[in-house]
Structure 1
Amino acid sequence: MPSLAPLLLAFLASRVYADGTEQSEAALGPTQACAPYSYAPVTAAMTASKFPPIWQPVAGILSGDTAATSLFSSFSSSIPNIAPKGTLGVPDPNAQSKYPATDPDCWWTASTCTTPKASGVNPDVAAVPEPQTLGYGFDDGPNCSHNAFYDYLTQKNQKATLFYIGSNVMDWPLQAQRAVADNHEICVHSWSHRSMTAFTNEQAFAELYYTLQAIKLVTGYTPTCWRPPLGDVDDRIRFIAQKIGLYNVLWKYNSNDWEVSSGAATPAQVQANYDTLMNDAKSGKFSTSGAIILTHELNNYTMQTAIDNYPNLAAAFKYIVPVGVALNKTQPYVESNYTQKSFAQYTGTQPPTGGSSGSNSPGGSSGAAHPSSSGGPSSNSSSKTNTGQAAGSSVAVSVSPHFAALMSALFGLAGVLTSIL
């Protein structure tokens, strides 16, 4: 009965997620990876109302959440007296025109201020201190179809800082787990990706707090870093984030890759932004300290553009490392059982001294200072609004190597069963 083989193959492929593991997710192509699935810990937590509705701006601390209430109450009276610049994450369109030119709040959106005016508030990280170094990272993950992109980073032995949205983590928990398995560094990027200065104190706290809890639930680790959506932060929001253990990562270079999908930017403009960064690196501008550029794990275009530009970035910079590595933050999470390499260890200028990168994952290798420049795999599109995959005009392979290996095995099994049947 040879005709059964295609049906059997389709059935087996549809069951790849049956074991519900990160390893099974990493083997999938984009169509399968972006099919909705359930993950028991997330389902149980959402059923028990331990998290806000996904993709909705958080209206406040959830009823009955005594831990969140206690934490917020411990510092709420000390929050800088700065009024919200909008309502429930939606900016007031007149806020900037009414805002004083003296920039009393160190409001980044109005002034790109990164040195707080309020007492006791830590400055932002907008560049890395290591010379000739790029602090490498991507916003808006985890993207359901990111396997080809993450496979490419793995091929290059390259780690990155990943700014994850809480709602995405709850939507795609296995994809979030891959970041830990691959020894990337995870940071917070809010729950609903709204303008943080347009929330009340409690709402802003909840946007960050429940994202921390989501990442902890799914990965087992609690981040210590965050990035505000659109860079929208002032001293009030900085203080709230600082009080729950988060330091703020911004940037001085912006690819504007996220604006292509809306038509607000063109691919040529995005490439020009990448080129500006690389030309500055080649000119010696980063001879005493490095840079951070804003890029995204948002969709096919942004991930493929990152792949296309990686070889030239590697040629322009001496080192490309996660932001935390450039800051020598060897403990990126609250939990002490996970460490990442120092800058010297990561770049090979100092041998490892026994610290492990990710004690629950396979070792964690250091990134190469000058990776090779070959292209990486690509894949197809997803239906999620904030998703997409690296498919790529300049990349010939159409699926991830994990997926190709899995399909090869399934074809082999189908062939054996066909011969029996």
Structure 2
Amino acid sequence: MRSHSSIAATALMLLGVRAAVSSESDEAALTDMTSECTPYSYAPVAAAESQFPPIWTPVSAMVSKSDAGYAKFISINASIPNIAPKGVLGVPDQTIVSGYNPADPDCWWTVTQCVTPKVSGVKGDIAAAPEPRTLGYGFDDGPNCSHNAFYDYLTEKNQKATMFYIGSNVLDWPLQAQRAVADGHEICVHTWSHRSMTAFTNEQAFGELWYAMQAIKLVTGVTPTCWRPPLGDVDDRIRYIAQQLGLQNILWKYNSNDWAVNTTGITEATVQGNYDALIAAVGAGTFDTTGAIMLTHELNNYTMQTALDNYPKLAAAFDHIVPVGVSLNKTQPYVETNYTLPSFDAYNAARASGGSSSASSGSPAASGGSGSKSGSAAGNQATGGTSAGFVLQVSTLTLGLVVLGAALAL
């Protein structure tokens, strides 16, 4: 079976598309989706390709028994909670789901939305912004190759967010990933291949996190200390593994369901209704003591456009919209100490005064060059509405990207 990147590369070659960018600033300046989603070369990724599993392929085992990742896994394996995988290679076993003990011994979020672990020493999940009338703002599944209009809008609004990046997407679209750091957003891990984490063995689950962390470090120069499980699928075994890698688990209590639009009975009206319900809850006093986190996505043109369309309404309803890390007063978001986020008070004071709310940094981004990795994350692009003059456009790549969308569908 071909990887998503090879499918993408083939489709794009058939469309006669060629690479033409060499730096993050070059990529960020592009305004046409055809250009944004053109595969390009990046030397650090090409040089390190053998150190990673095939992109978009679930981690079946650690790539090398002699690297630091495998040594780290061996050092923690004996202490991992004795909870059996709930599926095979990232695919859930529905008989396990349906037959799961209702007492919830594993604190399995998928079934019970449990966020307080049952295993001693395992830290609880973050599912809400702790500050009152505050939205912990973030987006899953990036970096999307065509996200420039979306990120431009956030820049215009001096708005930072938490970006939950998939490792395979980062290697597909490294310059787009670098933009998150350049723009002052917070990056968290969203695994290597975006599969159900409780359906992996210990080694596989470790690898899904490890390789995503290494991809982000390779491309951006920073190592995240936060993560979000795809579909929220986590139990105490997976929490423990993530904790040993220094990753704080970020979940949510409100779900836009934007990723599922036009599938499983979810319509655009359903998604808008979910946004409207969150906004109404602010007015009803639901968040007067503790804020909110809503699940939204950078997945495709529709999800990004919907976020743009709803941003003014969210900003009018909430007192503060901040990255999740800022809501937690987590001023050091990465392992590297040369990069800091502002505190909650400092972030909001800067916005109120019209100053920059950006993070401060040394020079975390990796250097670029030429090499090979073709992009594949551009699937499912769709038309949208408008917001503050921004429209996420569909280009002549649309037909080819529809094909890719089918291949990349969640």
Normalised by the length of structure 2, the TM-score is 0.84
Give me the whole-angstrom Cα distance separating, in 1, the residues matched to 2:162 and 2:257.
Answer: 18
Alignment of 1:66-145 (within 5 A): 66-145=67-146
Question: In the alignment, what sits opposite 2:360?
Answer: 357
Hey, what's the Cα distance between the residues in 2 that align with 1:253 and 1:185?
20
2:39 is matched with: 36
Letter in 2 for 1:105: D
Question: 3-state DSSP class of the match of 2:321?
Answer: strand
Q: Deviations over 1:72-121 (max 9, x none)?
A: 11111010000000000000011121110100000000100000000100
Asked if structure 1 preserves the Cα contact closer than 8 Å seen for 2:309 and 2:385, the reply is no
Distance in 2 (CA, whole Å) between partners of 1:388 and 1:317 is 30
* Alignment deviations for residues 133-183 of structure 1 (CA, whole Å, 9 cap, x no partner): 000000000000000000000010000000000000000000000000000
Q: What is the SS of the residue equivalent to 1:330? A: coil
Residue 240 to residue 342, structure 1, CA distance change in 2 (3 Å): same
Q: Which is further off, 27-36 or 331-340?
A: 27-36
Is the 1:183–1:361 contact (alpha carbons within 8 Å) kept by the matching residues of 2?
Answer: no
The aligned counterpart of 1:412 is: none
Out of 378, 382, 385, the position equivalent to 1:393 is 385
| 2:368 counterpart residue number | none
Q: Counterpart in 2 of 1:375?
A: none
In structure 1, stretches of 5+ residues that fail to align are 1-12, 363-382, 401-421
* Identical aligned residues as a percent: 65
Give the conservation status (yes or no) of the 8 Å contact 1:143–1:388.
Answer: no
| Gap change, CA 1:30 and 1:65, over 3 Å in 2 | farther
Tell me, yes or no, if structure 1 residue 155 matches structure 2 residue 156: yes
Higher alpha-carbon Rg? 1
After superposition, the C-alpha distances for 1:166-206 in whole angstroms (9 at most, x for unaligned) are: 00000000000000000000000000000000000000000
Q: Is the 8 A contact 2:166 2:192 kept in 1?
A: yes
- Aligned position for 2:53: 52
Q: Gapped runs of 5+ residues in structure 2? A: 1-16, 366-374, 394-410
SS at match of 2:339: coil
Instruction: Say which SS state the counterpart of residue 293 (structure 1) adopts.
Output: strand
Check 1:200–1:360 CA distance in 2 against 1; reply closer, same or farther (3 A cut). same
For residues 201-350 of structure 1, what are the structure 2 equivalents within 5 Å?
Answer: 201-348=202-349
Compared with structure 1, are the counterparts of its residues 120 and 176 closer, same or farther at alpha carbon in structure 2 (3 Å cutoff)?
A: same
Q: Which residue of the partner structure matches residue 9 of structure 1?
A: none
1:144, 1:387 within 8 Å by CA — same for their partners in 2?
no
Secondary structure of the residue aligned to 1:158 is coil
Query: Which secondary structure does the structure 2 equivalent of 1:135 belong to?
Result: strand
1:112 maps to a residue whose letter is Q
1:244 deviates by 0.5
**Pairing 1:167-206 to 2, within 5 Å after superposition:** 167-206=168-207
- Please give the alpha-carbon distance, in whole angstroms, between the structure 1 residues aligned to 2:390 and 2:138: 24
SS at match of 2:223: coil
1:313 maps to a residue whose letter is L
Q: Work out whether residues 206 and 242 of structure 2, in 8 Å CA contact, stay in contact via their aligned partners in 1.
A: yes
Kept after mapping to 1: 8 A contact 2:18/2:40:
no
Residue 24 of structure 1 corresponds to: 26
Post-superposition CA distance 1:28-70 (Å, at most 9, x none): 1211111111100001111xx1000000000011124421111
Give the superposition deviation at 1:361. 7.8
Q: Structure 2 matches for 1:9-20, cutoff 5 A?
A: 16-17=20-21, 20=22
Report the AA paired with residue 360 of structure 1: S
For residues 306 and 156 of structure 1, what CA distance do their matches in structure 2 show? 13
Give the CA deviation at 1:128.
Answer: 1.1
Asked whether the 8 Å contact 2:18–2:39 carries over to 1, the reply is: no
Indicate if the aligned counterparts of 2:301 and 2:392 stay in contact, CA closer than 8 A: no
Q: Distance in 1 between matches of 2:392 and 2:237?
A: 45
DSSP-derived class of the 2:187 partner:
strand
Q: Secondary structure at the match of 1:292?
A: strand
Counterpart of 1:175 in structure 2: which amino acid?
Q
| Pairs aligned (count) | 362
Closer, same or farther: CA 390–26 of 1 in aligned 2, 3 Å: farther
Find runs of 4+ consecutive structure 1 residues off by over 3 angstroms.
13-16, 261-264, 349-352, 383-391, 395-400
> Compared with structure 1, are the counterparts of its residues 385 and 40 closer, same or farther at alpha carbon in structure 2 (3 Å cutoff)?
closer
SS at match of 1:31: helix
Q: Given residue 384 of structure 2, which amino acid in structure 1 is its aligned partner?
A: G
Q: d(CA) in 1 for partners of 2:186 and 2:359?
A: 14
Instruction: Verify the 8 A CA contact 1:340 1:357 in the aligned structure 2.
Output: yes
Aligned-partner Cα distance in 1 for 2:160–2:151: 9
C-alpha distance in structure 2 between counterparts of 1:235 and 1:14, whole Å: 46
Q: CA, structure 1 residues 16+390, in 2 after alignment: closer, same or farther (shift >3 Å)?
A: same
TM-score when scaled to structure 1? 0.82
Distance of 1:105 and 1:192 partners within structure 2: 23
Q: Distance in 2 between matches of 1:251 and 1:304?
A: 21
Q: Report deviation, 1:15.
A: 6.9
User: In the alignment, residue 276 of structure 1 is paired with which amino acid?
Assistant: A
> Is the 8 Å Cα contact of residues 145 and 388 (structure 1) preserved in structure 2?
no
Cα pair 2:326 2:341 within 8 Å, conserved: yes
1:10 paired residue number: none
